[in-house]
Amino acid sequence: MTLTRVVLASGRTIGLSHLRLSSTYGGLLEGYPHQALNDRRVKRLLAAATTGFPRTPTHLVPPPREHPEDGRADATRPFGPVQILPPVACIGLFESAPVAPDIDPVLHGSALTIVWFQATPQPPSGHDADPGLREVAWEELAEDYEI
């Protein structure tokens, strides 16, 4: 049973069967978000996705990176300019009909673990999902499996 369905830009519908949400900057007690910190957070999230769902390929939707200071304080900040990712980090296991056209859709499906960031803790749904998530090239990234 799926939690929700997302319609990709290609028209394919994918079902979300597992969802993990976390605060992007949960646990950040000192300092400020910057590129190196964000790169480490993304790397850890990808590792968690791969470990959590080892039987499916994992794909990262590149997150938008906001620079609220617009480079004005670069010289005074020890780690470079402030760089902010969306506040909610997401790992989702999605499933759909098989990618290969020559296999039985009753006995097969396709799956892909996707990592993305979004503004709210609401599960993605329908055509209203994050645009980056809706642009995922399912046919190239997902892997078929036998039920």
What local confidence, expressed as pLDDT, does residue 29 receive? 83
d(Cα 53, Cα 112) in Å, to the nearest integer? 9
What local confidence, expressed as pLDDT, does residue 145 receive? 97
Grade residue 27 by pLDDT with cuts at 50, 70 and 90.
confident
d(Cα 57, Cα 89) in Å, to the nearest integer? 18
Residue 123, pLDDT > 80, answer yes
E-only strand ranges, the chain: 4-7, 13-23, 58-60, 88-96, 108-118, 143-146
Residue 69 or residue 13, greater confidence: 13
pTM (global) more than 0.85: yes
Residue 77 or residue 42, greater confidence: 42
Mean predicted confidence (pLDDT) in 94-121? 96
Mean predicted confidence (pLDDT) in 119-130? 92
Residue 1 or residue 120, greater confidence: 120
> Is residue 128 within 8 Å of residue 122, measured between CB atoms?
no
Residue 49, pLDDT > 60, answer yes
